[in-house]
Amino acid sequence: MSHSTISDSPLQATHVAILGLGEVGRIYGAALAEAGHRVTGFDPYLHEAPAGVEVADTLEKAVEDARIVVVLTAASASRSVAESVAGALAPDAVYADFTSSGPLEKRELATVFEGRADVRLVDVAILGPVILLGTATPLMAAGPAGEVVAELMRPLGTPVEVVGGDLGDAMAHKLLRSVFMKGLASVVVEAVGAGRAAGMEEWVRGQIAGVLAGDGQAVIDRFLTGTAKHAARRAAEMRSTGAYLADLGVHAEMTEASMTALERIAGGGKPS
């Protein structure tokens, strides 16, 4: 079956439906409308329509005749939304799930569309705060129509990386990134808070900045080799660190988690 309607003319104005018109949906909806696309949308909690977006009364009406459907609902609604609109999608439509559902949930969407072999599915992961970065927020796409999403979003100034693989692979990349991004952010917050409580915030900030500005690969290798080699000593140091943070009145969840992990490694457990 040909998919030339979208793929051969990706930058031409087309009909895009956005399901979920919260802050992110509003940003993307207004930008796509400004770019010349017809944008319809649905959100049961909508109070004000985004600029240029035609708001429908139901999910089914929002996706009627849409060539690309962008789902920006809460992760918990991802499957139920797909089940609601599967039969209403236009022939050869692209269905792009931008929710934060896990890799398994994204893969299971394929079962919802078993009777719609013409519909092309895309797993999209949002790799940054859209509320702050707008359409400049990087995206990662995986699945049969990843390139279609890239062709739709890149003209808006959106960096889109299309990865090979199946549904769920984009979100898998994002969650692996979250291990260090969210963990690193939490460690920095805890360390700077401790430095502030001790009257040494600027010094702590300098220490963190120095590590982050260094040779990234060398730092990774040093962490990987040094953590296992010195786990027992570092566990004891983190135990002392936790006690010091308690004296400062600073929450020490990340310090305590590090101590637990180091104790496990020192006891013969694998670092990962």
Q: Where along the chain do its domains lie? A: 4-167, 178-266
Give the model's pLDDT for residue 79: 96
**Diameter of the chain by CA atoms?**
68
Q: What does each of the 272 residues of the chain score in pLDDT, given as a tens digit?
A: 333 334 434 448 899 999 999 999 999 999 999 999 999 999 999 878 888 999 999 999 999 999 999 999 999 999 999 999 999 999 999 999 999 999 999 999 999 999 999 999 999 999 999 999 999 999 999 998 999 999 999 999 999 999 988 899 999 999 999 999 999 999 999 999 999 999 999 999 999 999 999 889 999 999 999 999 999 999 999 999 999 999 999 999 999 999 999 999 998 866 66
Distance set, CA 145 to CA 6, 48, 136, 152, 233 (Å): 10, 31, 21, 11, 51
Query: What is the token pair recorded at 236?
Result: 């004891």
Task: Say how far apart CA 116 and CA 133 lie, in whole Å.
Answer: 35
Give the model's pLDDT for residue 271: 64
Please tell me the CATH code under which domain 4-167 is placed.
3.40.50.720
Q: What is the CA radius of gyration of the chain?
A: 23
Give the model's pLDDT for residue 49: 84
Amino acid at position 83, single letter: E
Query: What is the token pair recorded at 4?
Result: 């030339």
Give the model's pLDDT for residue 265: 94
Query: What is the token pair recorded at 119?
Result: 């519909």
Amino acid at position 15, single letter: H
Helix (H, G, I), strand (E, B) or coil at 57: coil
